[in-house]
Amino acid sequence: MNTKLRGKHFITTQDWSVQELKTIFELAKLLKLEFAAGKINHSLDGKTLGMIFFDASTRTRTSFESAMTQLGGHGIYFAPQTMQISHGEGAKDTAKVLSSYLQGIAVRHCTYGEGNRYLNELRQHSSSPIVNMQCDVYHPAQILADYFTLTEHFGDNLRGLKLGVSWTYAPNYIRPLSVPQSLILMMPRFGIDVTLAHPPEFKLMPDIVAQAEKNAAESDATFRITHNMEDAFADTDAVIPKSWGPIITTTDQTAGLALIEKYPQWICDQGKMDLARKHALYMHPLPADRGKEVTAEVIDGPHSVIYQQAENRLHVQKALLSLIMG
């Protein structure tokens, strides 16, 4: 266990060793139990997290803000249009000033080609840790919750677990690539064998795929890519089928939605779940496009752990914030 994490930025799990990530999971387990037992926690008394949301959120905002409250601290919600960011104030001045008031700065910025760059610019100039609440490349807090949820079902050692990550049809808007990219990066580092399925147009970023292959090879895990959705279900212990955009193919929203329309058959239904192992979990970070990405039978069925997964955002983020801001 490595507990020397005060001040460490959390932009991607790639910057964290497996030992450091394990520290988060150990603490999250403890904090979840303490919270269930009604124990008051003062780890972040007097500390403030600023949370800048360039994009909409239900779970991320609420779980980060509640995390701060439950640790004795305070979370401030910022909409960029109410800040001087709207008049062009850059990341350097924002980071220098806010980090003189705040003990942590968390940002959601999913605009393709901008979000991750903005977070890294903040990192360069901030004296407080920068936390990624989702950008165009990564959604690391979501993947902490996903991993933690898997350990609650399969135990602390997940080596050899088979996880399917699949693209799904969702025609209402274009989602970032950050969830599948963070999944394929982190899960193999814990020995989990990952199968990623997507139609040819929905490739992930090539450098992320190359890094995921390297991570898997270094951890004696497997990572493979297929264009057949069923492959992500066959003989798996858990599946995470969710939509993302065709960013590598086109950044044009209309063209992107037209590409999504080619694949309505990429839905997670009971037939596909039947290909997985009997105990297999259905997972989704939410929000899900019900009836398009997944049938009601599956998302509301006995193998679905979506609400446990969402709740675990709170517990892993409490652990993360106490370690880096404490």
Tell me the CA distances in angstroms from 66 to 110, 146, 217, one per residue in order. Answer: 22, 19, 38
Stretch touching ligand CP by CB under 6 A, among 27-35, 55-63, 187-195, 293-301: 55-63
Among 12, 13, 142, 182, binds ligand CP (CB under 6 A): 142
**Nearest-CB residue for ligand CP:** 60
Q: Which of 14, 57, 120, 211 binds ligand CP (CB under 6 A)?
A: 57
Using the structure block, give the residue that is written with the tokens 């274009």. Answer: 174
Between 57 and 222, name the residue whose CB sits nearer to ligand CP: 57
Q: How many CB atoms lie within 10 A of CB 19?
A: 10
Name which of residues 236 to 275 contact ligand CP (CB under 6 A).
none
Task: Return left, alpha or beta for 88; rule: phi > 0 is left, psi -120 to 50 is alpha, else beta.
Answer: left
Cβ-based nearer residue to ligand CP, 133 or 273 = 133
Cα–Cα distance, 110 to 125 (Å, whole number): 20
Q: Is 172 in the site for ligand CP (CB under 6 A)?
A: no
CB of residue 108 vs ligand CP: minimum separation in angstroms? 7
Residue 173 DSSP one-character state: S
Q: Does 60 bind ligand CP (CB under 6 A)?
A: yes
Per CB under 6 A, 182 contacts ligand CP: no
Instruction: Provide the b/e sequence for 79-99 (b: ≥16 CB within 10 Å).
Output: ebeeeebeeeeebeebbeebb
Q: Is 168 in the site for ligand CP (CB under 6 A)?
A: no
Residue whose entry in the numeric block shows the structure tokens 């599948």: 180
Pick 47 or 175: Cβ nearer ligand CP? 175
- Asked if 59 is part of the footprint of ligand CP (rule: CB under 6 A), the reply reads yes
- Contact between 58 and ligand CP per CB under 6 A: yes
Q: What is the sign of the dihedral through the CA atoms of 66, 20, 205 and 260?
A: negative
Residues of this chain that interact with ligand CP (CB under 6 A) are 57-60, 134, 142, 285-286
